[in-house]
């Protein structure tokens, strides 16, 4: 699994745990629309550093928590 995919799945989990819709999160982190959130959650793209900061704030999560997911290491 790619880093983008693993991050996206974890982001979706965090968002749902906090009962925030994709539309609402898009508004909170100041992206154009929920397509950006869908792209992040699908692993098609990663948020910028500025958007990572906003995600932390709006999801009430540390940057460590945003990246606290299993990611397979290469052997």
Give a yes or no: residue 28 inside a domain: yes
Q: Residue 8 sits in which domain range?
A: 3-66
Model's pTM, two decimal places? 0.89
Give a yes or no: residue 55 inside a domain: yes
Q: pLDDT tens for residues 7-61?
A: 999 999 999 999 999 999 999 999 999 999 999 999 999 999 999 999 999 999 9
In Å, how far are 23, 27, 44, 72 from 33, measured between CA atoms? 7, 7, 15, 31
Total tally of structural domains belonging to the chain: 1
What CATH number does residue 42 fall under? Answer: 1.10.260.40
Give a yes or no: residue 75 inside a domain: no
Token readout for 58 is: 């709006």
């Amino acid at each position: 699994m790619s880093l983008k995919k693993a991050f996206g799945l974890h982001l979706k989990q965090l968002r749902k745990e906090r009962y925030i819709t994709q539309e609402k999160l898009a508004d909170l982190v100041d992206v154009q629309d929920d397509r950006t959130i869908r792209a992040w959650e699908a692993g098609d793209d990663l948020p910028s550093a500025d958007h990572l900061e906003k995600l932390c704030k709006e999801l009430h999560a540390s940057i460590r928590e945003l990246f606290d997911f299993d990611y397979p290491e290469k052997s």
